[in-house]
């Protein structure tokens, strides 16, 4: 099974939790939830995933867990067949706040057409 697929994503930090969907395809990431969309890139090397993601608000329905309407995030962790647990960190805020760290859980849902 390839990482290139549709995954559900759940994330949490000290401020709460959220979830959405994400697609990994050809080194690119696309995804979103009710209030934010995500685009970025990823690389897999020796079983480890590293990703850089830009997150931007598209709807004011839900508050941001990070208190920002746009930010950059780095994710890293081991690649799994059906699920992955990654650690995320905001990279474009000068103050390293505890809310800048996210635990990210992904569950494989479907191969891409």
Domain boundary assignment for the chain:
5-111
Global pTM? 0.89
CA distance 28 to 41: 4
The yes-or-no verdict on residue 99 having pLDDT over 70 is: no
Q: Which helix (H) or strand (E) holds 38?
A: strand 36-45
Work out the mean pLDDT of the chain and round it to a whole number: 91
Domain 5-111, CATH number (from 2.40.50.100, 3.40.50.880, 3.20.20.140, 2.40.128.380): 2.40.128.380
Dump pLDDT digits (tens) for 14-40. 888 999 999 999 999 999 999 999 999
């Amino acid at each position: 099974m390839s990482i290139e697929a549709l995954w559900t994503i759940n994330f949490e930090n000290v401020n709460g939790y959220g979830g959405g969907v994400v697609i990994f395809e050809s080194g690119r990431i696309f995804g979103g939830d009710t209030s934010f969309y995500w685009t970025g890139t990823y690389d897999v090397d020796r079983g480890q995933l590293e990703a850089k993601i830009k997150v931007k608000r598209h709807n004011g329905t839900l508050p941001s867990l990070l208190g920002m309407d746009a930010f950059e995030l780095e994710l890293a962790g081991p690649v799994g067949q059906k699920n992955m647990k990654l650690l995320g960190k905001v990279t474009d805020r000068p103050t390293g706040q505890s809310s800048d760290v996210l635990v990210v859980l992904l569950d494989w849902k479907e191969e891409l057409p």
